[in-house]
Amino acid sequence: MESNEIDRDAAAAQLAALDADRAALADRVVQPWWHDVALGLLLFGFLSSYAADSLWVTFPAMVVFFVGLALLVSVYKRITGVWVNVDARTMALWAALVLLVLVPAFVLAEGFDQHWVMVPAGAVLGLAVTLLGRHWGRAYAAQLRGER
């Protein structure tokens, strides 16, 4: 008798191979710890540069920030071979946190000439992006493994 169905053992082997590939991808997409720390430091440095209230400080800090971001993206792609986008929920959380911290900081800095407030605002957001990046990377890897 001839059968057009896939052999049950072959199908099980293919599914096991797919699970192994998914687990390998999950291990590969988690960024190294220093990646999140570097991102946090870049953000801290850029936002803290506003405390100087000088374009001669802020503009070079902005250039360093964007060059640093480009280098982090390049290194991540080279290490992992992929680029991963953050999910909408995490981006909404990040946007809310940025607004919660930066709006009052800019009001104090520009409206009340308290430019020093940008240093703690940069520290809060630098630490937040570091911790959020670590959390998101681990959650994404767990999702790929099917643990979530």
Q: 4-62, pLDDT tens digit by residue? A: 566 888 888 888 888 887 887 888 888 999 999 999 999 999 999 999 999 999 999 99
Q: 69-125, pLDDT tens digit by residue? A: 999 999 999 988 888 888 899 899 999 999 999 999 999 999 999 999 999 999 999
The H or E element spanning position 60 is helix 55-80
Tokens 């953050």 -> residue: 86
Is the Cβ–Cβ distance between 135 and 33 less than 8 Å?
Answer: no
DSSP assignment, residue 85? P
Q: What is the pTM of this model?
A: 0.85
